[in-house]
């Protein structure tokens, strides 16, 4: 059974291609339809605009991964639905 999330929920996510787990607050849901182009086809996706809600997570991603997050002002990110634990 899939959990239905709503804006304001605080969830943990696993970043793609890593074992890093980060806590985020969901802001707004985004749905994208499948795109069929002349040279490329892209699958549809569901995701969320989110904010990192933990200062330690921001500092870790900034220092260890080089992602320019600054708590509490610059913490916006995008999270794919399949990344939510």
Question: Is 5 inside any structural domain?
Answer: no
Q: Is residue 76 part of a domain?
A: yes
The answer to whether residue 54 sits within a structural domain is yes
pTM: 0.82
Domain count, the chain: 1
The pLDDT of residue 55 is above 60: yes
**pLDDT at site 2:** 67
- Residue 2 in domain: no
Q: How do residues 5-21 score in pLDDT, each as one tens digit?
A: 999 999 999 988 888 89
- pLDDT by residue (tens digit) across 27-50? 999 999 999 999 999 999 999 999
Structural domain range at position 40:
10-83
Q: Give phi and psi for 55, each to the nearest 5.
A: -60, -40
pLDDT at 25 over 90: yes
């Amino acid at each position: 059974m899939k959990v239905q999330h709503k804006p304001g929920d605080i969830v943990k996510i696993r970043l793609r291609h890593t074992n890093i787990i980060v806590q985020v607050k969901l802001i707004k849901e985004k749905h994208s339809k499948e795109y069929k182009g002349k040279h490329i086809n892209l699958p549809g996706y569901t995701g969320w605009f989110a904010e990192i809600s933990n200062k330690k997570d921001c500092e870790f991603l900034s220092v260890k991964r080089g992602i320019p997050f600054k708590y509490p002002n610059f913490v916006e990110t995008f999270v794919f639905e399949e990344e939510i634990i």
